[in-house]
């Protein structure tokens, strides 16, 4: 397996892990529980999913830059 592939797998695992940790940390910060955060604004369970996507996206962008996986590369001519 190429080193770039290993870095990309590490990026995905770290992004998902950061998303889960950030979501659980936010719930704990507000002294709530997952049952209270399991709202139905758009659909059942939308708030934890949006938190997970937000934290995971931030981790993905910064991780891509740090690990140089070139997912979000810019092309110059």
Name the helix (H) or strand (E) containing 15.
Answer: helix 3-29
User: Domain residues of the chain, as ranges?
Assistant: 13-67
pLDDT digits (tens, 9 = 90+) for 54-69: 999 999 999 999 998 9
pLDDT digits (tens, 9 = 90+) for 2-43: 998 999 999 999 999 999 999 999 989 988 877 777 777 777
Report which of 61, 62, 68 is spatially closest to residue 8, judged by C-alpha positions. 68
pLDDT score at 60: 95
pLDDT score at 22: 95
d(CA 54, CA 39): 17
- pTM for the complete prediction? 0.80
Rounded CA Rg of the chain: 16
Q: Which residues contact 57 (CB under 8 A, 6 or more apart)?
A: 15, 19
pLDDT score at 50: 87
């Amino acid at each position: 397996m190429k080193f770039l592939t290993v870095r990309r797998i590490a990026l995905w695992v770290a992004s998902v892990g950061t998303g889960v940790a950030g979501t659980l940390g936010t719930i704990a910060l507000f002294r709530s529980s997952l049952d209270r955060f399991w709202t139905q604004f758009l659909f059942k369970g939308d708030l934890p999913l949006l938190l997970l996507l937000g934290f995971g996206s931030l981790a993905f962008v910064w991780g891509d830059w740090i690990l140089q996986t070139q997912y979000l590369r810019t092309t110059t001519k």
